[in-house]
Amino acid sequence: MGVGAAAGIAGATAATGVDPFTAATNGDESIDLSQSHPFYATAARQPQGGVRTVPQRYCVFMTFDMSSSVATDLQVLLARWSASIAQLQAGKTVGSVEPAHGAGVGADTGEALDLGPASLTVTVGLGPGIFDERFGLASKRPAHLAAIPTLPSDNLEDGLTGGDLSLQACADDPQVAYHAVRDLARMARGTATVRWTVLGFGRASAGPDQSTPRNLMGFKDGTRNITTDEDYDRFVWIDEPGSGADWMRGGTYQVARKIRMNIEIWDADVVSDQQRVFGRTKIEGAPLSGGTEHTTPDFAATGKDGGTKIDPRSHIALAAHEANGGVKILRRPYNYTDGLNQYGQLDAGLLFTAYMNDPGHFTTLQRKLGASDRLNEYVSHIGSAVFAVPPAPRKGSYIGEQLFR
Amino acid sequence: MPSARTARPLIALGAVGVVTVLALTGCANSSTSAGDAASRSGNVSRVSVTLTNDGSDKCAVSETKVPAGPVTFTVKNESSTAITEVELLQDQRIFGEKENLAPGLDAVSFTATLTGGKYQVYCPGAERELTDFTVTGKVTSTANSSAATLLAEGTKGYAQYVDGQVTDMVAAVEQLQKDVDAGDLAAAKTDYANARPFYEHVESDVDGFVKKGYKATDNAGNLDYLIDMRASNLDESVGWSGFHAVEKDLFQAGAITDTTKKTAASLTENVELLAKLVPTLDYKPEDLANGAAGLLEEVQSNKITGEEEAYSHIDLVDLAANVEGARQAFAYLKPGLTKLDPTLTKQIAKQFDATNTLMDGYRNADALGGFDTWDAATKASDANAISQQVQALQDPLSRLAEKVATA
């Protein structure tokens, strides 16, 4: 496992006199499991962690259905989740692992003891169902929160779709991420039931000092992702003062899609076709119009045969903001595997999580991709959900507190 | 585990409280109480309880000594995730409590009118869970009906319930044997489904019974094993008998053979043996609590999966019977438990109701045993919902044993 190896490397560099801090900055493969992210906001309109946070290596995503229709149950759950996430992100347990009385049941399940914070972030999302008739919160519905419409090529399974609440727990140690979701799911019992979950690994997106990672198709994923403050403000953070959802300012929307890959078929595809499908070279990730990875693709450049060098039905051509009225979304996906499917094939793909200030932006992009993308031959969208991600609470408050005022 | 009635005395009765509660309210922000509070110039003592976490969960009580009269406890959870409730106790009896305490929520309060004596502020999950709390002043002494007495009465009632179930089980398996001997496959199938619930109501109580002359580790003398073993956990050295061996012949092979007849006869024999042993059993309150929890574990591990009734697929019959057996154990504890912890009692009762409502949706008078067949399609679509409801019941129920054991 990469984490153990990383710890070993850190030890080795210290012993040989190499400054471990320099090593950590230069090589993004070394990971410091003692790193932690604060949960509480220190200023107005700060986002929750797990959105702009430098992507950790592992991620567990889980959605829930409210089984209670009582608003105070939802309120108590959000308050308990918030305070617990603050402790979990600090590397603490949520209550005792070994109660004083033998007849007591441990509050914390204990498997993350001694593992460190591992840069854990837990992001809480509120689905459209929170604002239906059940909880009396309809007047506070965020303006753009609505179920994602049916899109071309959708192959959604009911058991992998929707949810009233979501948790995205990302960490550099998979057990730390899993422990967080496990403790929080336990806390929800009697109030909410679990709906679907995906265990992600191998971050398929990059932070500022990280190299672009690869998805399970072997291609770099996220080369043209959002990175600048200006783009975050323009495309990710919600800022609509005066709307009914003033409380969402500084928050964002989360779109989650479980995308299954037909791995065996893809693996048998010749590399020139694979590159044509993506519109990039496989190792470097350069656009087929030329240059290196971060060279801006020239979608008009033509080759000797007179056609464009980048196929107009390639993934990058259809997804490019140039072709979508300038729209961008922040992608923060992870790879996943569910083992083998019933036919003995590898059951794996991409947990596509993306953040944006209007889920309509995702719909715009996917409507185009679902209709024409050459990649559709190799992928299938089997799960889908959308959530409003409120801003981070201040200490002494909790996520979504303004809903109950 | 229950013990032999002759071998273990009834539980020791807890000390009987010596305090009369003049008024007790769980409502937030109540500031007045009835009774002789006026004799104290209408003064209400105010105590604040603050819950924090600075590495460990702490419960701080602002005053630990107040004069007799109305006392208002204001509870604020600043930052503790482990502590979700605060109780005021005396002799394990709850005089006031607040639940669902989470950081960030507004402070809540409860008022109790207390006479002199020693109390404790109980914060389950705190580093130090109990804080001594003294009330000084005149003691008005009258005894309360003790929770421990009520619990002890409950265990006797429950013992009769178990005896009744086993008596009915004997009659049901004798009927099964009769129809097997007659070669009547259809009747035997119905008999099988009718006999199962009696076992499933009480199986956590009879778990571990050993026939005389056998070691506890020898399955050949283990009555639960002999009566209820499944193909999936067969002990090769003992072979297979009991309910599920009969089930396989009736439902998978669809034929009654000489072996079926022998198996049915040995089932009757073992159930009759069980019926002789069960009346000697004695139960402590925590036996009922643990037994109820054990039955729900059975639901989760064997029924939801369809492993229990692998051939007849009447798992929902068993499942409903496990829940009913657990509900009976809870019902017998309820009078005492209500005195100990009314909120937990209500929570458990509510989840039993929710579980029963869910199971009612599967009732089917035309199906064997009165419930829908647990086939692959139903399992695929519904197992999750049932399992999660049972889990919602298991959570509050898992706190029952600790409550009643310390009463």
What pLDDT, on a 0 to 100 scale, did the predictor assign at position A29? 61
Residue A4 above 80 pLDDT? no
Could you write out the DSSP letters of every residue in A73-129? Answer: HHHHHHHHHHHHHHHHHTT--SS-SS-SSTTSPPSS--TTTTS--TT-EEEEEE-GG
Residue A59 above 60 pLDDT? yes
pLDDT (average), residues B162-186: 94
Residue A283's contacts (CB-CB under 8 Å, 6 or more residues apart) are: none
What pLDDT, on a 0 to 100 scale, did the predictor assign at position B72? 86
* C-alpha distance from A187 to closest chain B C-alpha (Å): 10
Which chain B residue's Cα is nearest to A81?
B81
Each residue of A190-205: pLDDT tens digit? 899 999 999 999 876 7
| One CATH from 1.20.1420.20, 2.60.120.10, 2.30.29.30, 3.40.50.10490 for B148-405 | 1.20.1420.20
pLDDT band at B407 (very low <50, low <70, confident <90, very high): low
Domain B24-135 sits in CATH 3.90.226.10: no
Each residue of A156-202: pLDDT tens digit? 999 999 999 999 999 999 999 999 999 999 999 989 999 999 999 98
Best of B81, B101, B381 to mutate (most A CBs within 10 Å, chain A): B81
Best of A73, A75, A76, A179 to mutate (most B CBs within 10 Å, chain B): A76
Each residue of B145-164: pLDDT tens digit? 588 888 999 999 899 899 99
pLDDT band at A97 (very low <50, low <70, confident <90, very high): confident
In this prediction the pTM is 0.73
* C-alpha distance from B8 to closest chain A C-alpha (Å): 21
Could you write out the DSSP letters of every residue in B100-142? Answer: ---TTSPPEEEEEEE-SEEEEEE-TTSSS-EEEEEEESPPP--
Each residue of A297-349: pLDDT tens digit? 999 999 999 999 999 999 999 999 999 999 999 999 999 999 998 889 999 99
What pLDDT, on a 0 to 100 scale, did the predictor assign at position B29? 33
Count chain A–chain B contacts defined by CB atoms under 8 A: 79
Closest CA to B14 of B396, B296, B284: B284
* C-alpha distance from B392 to closest chain A C-alpha (Å): 5
Bridge partners, residue A197, by sequence: A62
CB contact under 8 A, A83 and B79: yes
What pLDDT, on a 0 to 100 scale, did the predictor assign at position B9? 31
Which chain A positions have a beta carbon within 8 Å of B399's beta carbon?
105
Residue B391's contacts (CB-CB under 8 Å, 6 or more residues apart) are: A189, B300
CB contact under 8 A, A103 and B104: no
Q: How many CA atoms lie within 13 A of A330 on its CB side?
A: 28
Closest CA to B89 of B56, B114, B53, B63: B114
What pLDDT, on a 0 to 100 scale, did the predictor assign at position B208? 60
Which chain A residue's Cα is nearest to B405?
A103
Which chain B positions have a beta carbon within 8 Å of A104's beta carbon?
124, 402
Tokens of A281: 């070279």
Torsion of Cα atoms, A109 then A115 then A118 then A120, to 10°: 10
* Phi, psi at A135, each rounded to 5°: -110, 0
Tokens of B308: 């229990």
CB contact under 8 A, B81 and A393: no
Interface of B with A in 312-351 (CB under 8 A): 347, 351
Q: Where are the domains of chain B?
A: 24-135, 148-405
Q: Where are the domains of chain A?
A: 38-95+104-404
- Please report where in the chains the tokens 């109990």 appear, as a residue: B130
Q: Is A87 on the interface with B (CB under 8 A)?
A: yes
What pLDDT, on a 0 to 100 scale, did the predictor assign at position B97? 82
Residue B254 above 90 pLDDT? yes
CB contact under 8 A, A72 and B398: no
Tokens of B1: 């585990």
Residue B210 above 80 pLDDT? no
Beta carbons of B99 and B84 less than 8 angstroms apart: yes
What pLDDT, on a 0 to 100 scale, did the predictor assign at position B262? 95
Name which of A17-31, B15-29, B103-117 the model is least confident about.
Answer: B15-29
Secondary structure class of A68 (helix, strand, coil): coil
CB contact under 8 A, B81 and A83: yes
What pLDDT, on a 0 to 100 scale, did the predictor assign at position B145? 54
Which chain B positions have a beta carbon within 8 Å of A87's beta carbon?
53, 81
What pLDDT, on a 0 to 100 scale, did the predictor assign at position A381? 97
What pLDDT, on a 0 to 100 scale, did the predictor assign at position A83? 95
pLDDT band at B41 (very low <50, low <70, confident <90, very high): very low
Residue A86 above 70 pLDDT? yes
Residue A49 above 70 pLDDT? yes
What pLDDT, on a 0 to 100 scale, did the predictor assign at position A17? 39
Residues in chain A: 405
Distance CA A34, CA B352 (A): 44
ipTM (interface predicted TM): 0.74
Give the helix, strand, coil percentages of chain B, each rounded to 5: 50, 15, 35
Which chain A positions have a beta carbon within 8 Å of B388's beta carbon?
67, 189, 193-194
Q: Is B367 on the interface with A (CB under 8 A)?
A: no
Of all residues in chain A, the percent with pLDDT exceeding 70 is: 91
Distance CA B259, CA A229 (A): 79
Beta carbons of B309 and B372 less than 8 angstroms apart: no
Distance CA B289, CA B297 (A): 13
